[in-house]
Amino acid sequence: MYIRSPIAAGTFYPDNPQELKQMVELFIRQSSVRKLEDLPKGLIVPHAGYVYSGIVAASAYKVIQDKEFSTVILLGPSHHFVFPDFVFSPPGYWDTPLGRVKTLSLSDFPSVVYPELFQQSARIHQPEHCLEVQLPFLQVIKKEFKIFPLLVGDIDIEKGSRALFSLLRSPDSLLIVSSDLSHYLSFEDARRVDKVTLDAILARDRQRFEQFGEACGKTAISLLLEIAVQNNWRPVLLRAMNSGETAGGKEQVVGYASVVFIK
């Protein structure tokens, strides 16, 4: 049985279970977001260390904490490998300090289209933090859920979006895209650049986003935007900040935002 050990515990977030749970709960309590009546189907959530982006990420998780979902498709970039299309983690479990989460296999999605776009690799997933850091938030707000962790490389957006959407046909499924925004700009430059990025996302303008937007999970966001246009998912900005507002100096900052896509 495959079990992936956490690689970000103790660095991106606390490795002590009680401290981690208390931190996540505090971030969620401090988040003020309006209640959604409609069904959230997609999220964009940052993936930096919790002291930097945790308060922004918490806005996304607070807005879904009373919603019903049991299958989470986690999608993000690889910071370590270059590869084509999608790479999924072997079925089994991912561990965090808060416990064990079951991971699904491609065979659990019998209606998937373009299955040739998906390959399995423990090696590519093992050093990557961007999906792992989402799990403690999910574990705090939900008792039972399963994940299908996907990293995306170079892919045809139209074809890839159709393949990705075919994983979301169950009404209790949710797509979480893990991405930060601009990197290492000055505080004011980051605010300007991130506004351009978010304006394009909120307009569901993929071409404008791809031309002018800045995000480390750019391909993953493009896939989400294509799905949103094709299926009339409406984006709502929950919170946007940068590390100059949360922790650290203002000479070089990283931008973060949480966006929910509503069906």
Q: Tokens 């900005």 belong to which residue?
A: 237
Helix (H) or strand (E) holding 230: helix 218-231
Q: What is the pLDDT of residue 32?
A: 85
Instruction: Say which range, 33-47, 100-114, 135-149, has the weakest mean pLDDT.
Output: 33-47
Q: What single string gives the DSSP state of each residue in 152-216?
A: E-B--HHHHHHHHHGGG-STTEEEEEE----EEE-HHHHHHHHHHHHHHHHTT-HHHHHHH---T
pLDDT digits (tens, 9 = 90+) for 3-38: 999 999 999 999 999 999 999 999 999 998 877 888
Q: What is the pLDDT of residue 81?
A: 97
With a pLDDT cut of 70, the percent of the chain lying above it is 100
pLDDT digits (tens, 9 = 90+) for 214-228: 999 999 999 999 999
List of domains in the chain: 2-262 (3.40.830.10)
Tell me how far apart the alpha carbons of residues 146 and 107 are, in angstroms, rounded to a whole number: 14
pLDDT digits (tens, 9 = 90+) for 65-74: 999 999 999 9
Q: What is the pLDDT of residue 127?
A: 98
Q: What is the pLDDT of residue 101?
A: 98
Q: What is the pLDDT of residue 39?
A: 86
Tell me how far apart the alpha carbons of residues 94 and 130 are, in angstroms, rounded to a whole number: 13
Q: Is the pLDDT of residue 201 over 90?
A: yes
